[in-house]
Amino acid sequence: MGTQHLSGIHHVTLITGDVQANVDFYVGFLGLRLVKRTGGYEDAEQLHLFYGDGLGSPGSLVTFLVWEDGSPGRVGHGQVFEIAFAVPPSSLGEWMTRALKHGIALQGPVHEFDETVLRLKDPDGFIVKLVASDLPAAQPSADSGIAPRRLRSVTILSEASEETAAFIERFGYRHGRVEGSTTRMLSDTDAVDIRDGSGYVPGIPGTGTADHVAFRAADTSAIRALEMQLSQLNSSPTNVHDRRYFTSLYVREPAGTLLEVATDGPGFAVDEAPDRLGTTLMVPPGDRDRADDLRVMLPQFAMPGEPRMPRRDLPFVHRFFTPQDPDGGTIVLLHGSGGTEADLMPLAHRIAPGATLLGVRGRAHEEGNARWFRRYSATSFDQADIRSEAEAFAAFVEGAVSAYGLDLARMTFLGLSNGANFAAAVMGLQPGRVRRAILLRPTMVLEAAPTVDLRGAEVLVITGTRDPFSANSALLTNWLDASGAALERRGIEAGHELTPEDAAIAREWLGGRT
């Protein structure tokens, strides 16, 4: 082992599609401590959670990139596909009882490399093993009697297992035993199991899969020395990043698994007191100018035992943001083409800081981008799809009102572009579901505007004088006016993009109605 490395695993990073279920499993069931919650350093609009021992010590950490309601990945070669935690040998019986109590399917006990192992799956389907081991915890958690003490191992599926093993050696690992198609590589504290993945399909990133495994380095000098070594080896490209809590280098081993090498310091207490770790949502330093917006956009969750918003199975993917002091009003958000359910949350929060926000995701897709209905061209739309999606959305609104106890009379629908077009179509096709709407940069998409009574509906339309799509907005506003809606139309000096003036106008308009 070179002097530039400490020995062993620093952390493993996985991907989850359900942040609440993830917290309930890793904190509520496994008993790990949530030691940090932050916006992602690659994408600040992606929540990143870190779990570990009492202080989040290197070697105890499993972290999650949150792809809320994201697409499931595919397990295959070039991936970590199992992680294992060391638990006290005397605790296995209690873990079996605990799994039964929590309704978690469990396999075992079995013996692997002379260790007793229980195998289960987390809510995303990722394999988590509990291994009877006397390995000590660097910083024991409160429930130290049975709680995982540290990571015992990870398992990599590789179609070039010998090359993968040779590459892993440089991080302080030596060859151990071979069982079947799995070779165990040992450090001073843990193991990397490399399973021959010949014949498997390549892994595809997504929820329920691993992003990478990270190994330990003493300091940034060790990171730079490793970067130089890898460049001389003509390995895959390397990237070095300051992640605030550690400095890291990324590289792919010969079979494609993403590896990271991370420094032990400065650690998670650099911006939170040790007894407060994981209680505040942190924002990467480079995104401080939009910290308030990010704290609204990132998904909320409750710790085990805390009150929480129920999650209901409704026709559309959706997410709530609940402010500290809710005023009883709700703004339902309909994003523009290619957007997400969180895109309009910062704007809506500026318009009505006390409103509960309900972001909804369109179900039509175009080259991977979410929309509210299919289109044939920029100005030609699938009328049958608009009608069927409007019907489904009406059922969603009815279900949300019932399931979440919302007051339909205090619901405002805020749509941008494609979302505004859809909200207006719902008003015509499903009368009574949308009683108050703020439509930003809308156009008429219904080829035959329905004859409908919209008396009692209130609508604000904001168009941009430089918006190339604004020419058709008059068709929409004329129809709204003729249908009896209480309509206010405002034109601003803007294109199709949003401006601060949109928020100011909407805030003034909505403030007179709530």
Q: Residue 372: how many CB atoms within 10 A of its CB?
A: 33
- Residues in a beta bridge with 366: 369
Question: In angstroms, rounded to a whole number, what is the distance separating the alpha carbons of residues 363 and 393?
Answer: 10
| Residue that has been written with the tokens 């007179």 in this structure | 512
**10 Å Cβ neighbour count for 400?**
23
CA distance 177 to 184: 6
Q: What is the dihedral of CA 226, 215, 79, 277, to 10 degrees?
A: -130
Q: Are 447 and 472 in contact (CB under 8 A)?
A: no
Exactly one of 24, 211, 343, 467 is catalytic; name it.
467
At residue 481, φ and ψ (nearest 5 deg) are -65, -45
**Is 211 a known active-site residue?**
no
Cα end-to-end distance, the chain, whole Å: 67
Q: Among positive and negative, which fits the CA dihedral 422, 500, 289, 356? A: negative
Q: Which amino acid is at 248?
A: S
Instruction: Find out whether 20 and 229 touch, Cβ atoms under 8 Å.
Output: no
Task: Determine which one of 153, 417, 470, 483 is catalytic.
Answer: 417
Residues 6+ apart with CB under 8 A from 139: 53, 54, 55, 56, 57, 60
- Please return the burial class of 409, using the count of CB atoms within 10 Å of its CB with bins 0-12, 13-18 and 19+: exposed
**In the block, which residue shows the tokens 């289109």?**
375
Active site residue 496: yes
Q: Please say if 248 is a catalytic residue.
A: no
Do residues 397 and 334 make contact, with C-beta atoms less than 8 angstroms apart?
Answer: no
Q: How far apart are CA 394 and CA 398, in angstroms?
A: 6
b/e 101-124 (16+ beta carbons within 10 angstroms → b): eeebebebbeebbebbbbbbebbb
Give the number of other CB atoms < 10 A from CB of residue 181: 12
Helix (H) or strand (E) holding 506: helix 500-511
Cβ 455 vs Cβ 482: under 8 Å: no
The answer to whether 139 touches 54, Cβ cutoff 8 Å, is yes
358 exposure class (CB count in 10 Å sphere: 0-12, 13-18, 19+): buried
What residues are annotated to the active site? 417, 467, 496
